[in-house]
Structure 1
């Protein structure tokens, strides 16, 4: 892909993240150079053509010989959170390929309102194109296929697999963080959650396929054993983008009833109209908070989610702590460079 076709978000995505030497220094084992592919809006005229260009790059770079392939749906601006991808590259010795395709220049809240369905249309085109090729490969040698999305990226990503991709030759799982309140699958899990679990940390069918974690949570244990497809939602109770509801104008939401999530202020009370406006303002400011709260998803929680979903060999809690520190330290060095 030509450098000028990547766009600002694409250039950031393909230059961030660990290199082979970084991974080897952390693990003490031999590693591979991680593959990151990105198709910006300038790469082609339609989502389908962007997806085909991304697939061609993946094939050229040998991505389908890796052990894991991740389809990462960006946020509205095209940004893919490095904290959501870099942990996986460390955990699996760089034997990872990740692909992202841009669908907008707008920030996620504006794209959600002004471009309804655009993230979903793009994510569906990308998944369909890559899945069709992946499905033709020998099952015992093709990479495991995972999905990733933060915020509006999760909105598109969770809707991208068609019904047949959940059955037969199914993809392997997903990590979705900060799902907006309009995500249909997320809303279904909340609505149909197992009795006794709160709306801000729902347990759905014992956690056989879907598990929800907050800050410091562990998705590796649940009432039910993992099924064939493993999906983890990362959700902080104080994330207004996740928990805003249109009905809040006239009805108290369940997440404001006891027991509340651990980082929801006890001073917050429901009043008709007023509370909905307050939470609406919080949506615009939800990323301006410390990691682990609001819409700022912490690298330690991404590590926990990917550990549960991909089950790396010989991974320990000590490894997780060291990795979180290493990625946070590296991010601090480059703070403000973009």
Structure 2
């Protein structure tokens, strides 16, 4: 084979043809949850970029190929891409069917491809502007790029604040008691907790057989499904009280101010304990502490603090839903709810290099990146999967006395 008839594999069309099926396979590799269309577009661009760099570096030190060999590589790449696309579509649709989601539609595929094209175009535009900074200010490029990235965070935070469909501010259809205090009620955690318990007391919450202290997520959200389920189980003989301690989404509060969540949870628990302990022992309701997501982490930390002995003695049972990292307290009558596909519970940083113990498909680094995408999309799934927990969960709440009252509907 003469040197004149050879060409390196690093030619764009050959390297791209072989990199595309690898990138597609990595972008659609099975994870905790079905990949969402926008996330698929992002993963495609990320995977393709890495695959192209790797393919061209390998080609630069590899043997030269003839023109016919290059054509064969392109044909092979096309065939592999078609096969991987079929396998990915089949696998993703099976995952979606398992949790009650519709199959991927042409619109979903279009959204994924459109997202990928927008990202590629934006990346090339930024690179061009950076290289031509004589004509375009470097500061302007950095500002526009940063503004585009930061747009999502305020939008997310605003959504959490304005879509506050706070179930505890609505009237119970079965006559149960609901009480809530938000950030607008007071700036201080202790004062806000006092207001929440005052509202609970004024509504007759301390006269009910069961008192649920709900530690909310970072934005102050209380799961309406759990409230509805508990009221279905206990009827009017249940009261639920909660207090907002932050306005940011849970993942932001978890990363930036986890201690603030614990402080808020402790303030509410202390105020509830004070109110309950003022009643004759025979008239005290069973106190149940319920926490979801960051609320579970905060509630667990508040109850296991060295000086929380009185709190632990006053609590009948605890219920933790979707605890980040799968934490628990070990206290009596503790119940955990953890969907098998909830990345908030099961994902670990070690997934980057070590397979999980759950027997799920795994690839180094790839599975870790997918877990991050799953965390972002963990609420974009039906109840009972991902990080969403349904109205059936309160049926598992443990009570302290056999034959405890179930209330009346």
State the TM-score, normalizing by the size of structure 1: 0.65
- The runs of 5 or more residues in structure 2 that have no matched partner are 1-160
Alpha-carbon spacing, 1:251–1:106, altered in 2? closer, same or farther (3 Å) = same
Matches of 1:129 and 1:69 in 2, distance apart?
A: 13
Q: Is this contact kept in 2: 1:175–1:231, CA < 8 A? A: yes
Question: Aligned equivalents of 2:286 and 2:299: distance in 1?
Answer: 17
In structure 2, what is the equivalent of residue 160 of structure 1?
A: 302
Separation in 1, partners of 2:390, 2:168 = 21
Residue 324 of structure 2 corresponds to residue 180 of structure 1: yes
Greater gyration radius: 2
Tell me the distance in 1 between the aligned counterparts of 2:234 and 2:162. Answer: 28
- 1:290 and 2:382 are equivalent in the alignment: yes
Distance 2:375 2:348 in 1: 11
Residue number in structure 2 paired with 1:306: 397
Alpha-carbon separation, structure 2, partners of 1:112 and 1:233: 20
Cα root mean square deviation, aligned: 2.6
**Aligned 1:1-338 pairs, distance under 5 A:** 12-16=166-170, 18-20=172-174, 33-161=175-303, 162=305, 163-165=308-310, 169-181=313-325, 184-185=327-328, 229-255=332-358, 257=359, 266=360, 268-271=361-364, 273-300=365-392, 302-306=393-397
The CA deviation at 1:114 is 2.1
Q: Check whether the contact 1:71–1:146 (CA below 8 A) recurs between aligned residues.
A: yes
TM-superposed CA distance for 1:306, in Å, is 2.6
Q: 1:129 to 1:308 in 2, by over 3 A?
A: closer
Q: Secondary structure at the match of 1:72?
A: strand
Query: Deviation at 1:79?
Result: 0.9
Provide the aligned length of Structure 1 versus Structure 2: 244
> Could you tell me how far apart the structure 1 residues matched to 2:385 and 2:394 are?
16
1:314 deviation in Å? 9.1
| Alpha-carbon spacing, 1:245–1:69, altered in 2? closer, same or farther (3 Å) | same
Are 1:71 and 1:127, in contact at CA under 8 Å, matched by a contact in 2?
yes
SS at match of 1:50: helix
Matched residue SS, 2:335: strand
Q: 1:146 to 1:120 in 2, by over 3 A?
A: same
SS of residue in 1 equivalent to 2:302 = coil
In the alignment, is the contact (CA less than 8 A) between 1:91 and 1:312 conserved in 2? no
CA–CA distance in structure 2, aligned partners of residues 153 and 304 of structure 1: 20
Displacement after TM superposition at 1:292 (Å) = 1.6
Deviation (angstroms), 1:11:
6.0
Deviations 1:102-149 (A, max 9, x none): 111111111111223221110011101211221232211111100111
Instruction: Using the TM superposition, give the Cα deviation of residue 15 of structure 1 relative to its aligned residue in structure 2, in angstroms.
Output: 4.5
Q: Which runs of 5+ in 1 are unaligned?
A: 1-6, 21-32, 190-208, 210-228, 258-265, 316-322, 324-338
SS at match of 1:281: helix
The structure with the greater share of residues assigned to helix is 2
SS across alignment from 2:214: strand
Distance 1:314 1:142 in 2: 13
Distance 1:244 1:310 in 2: 37
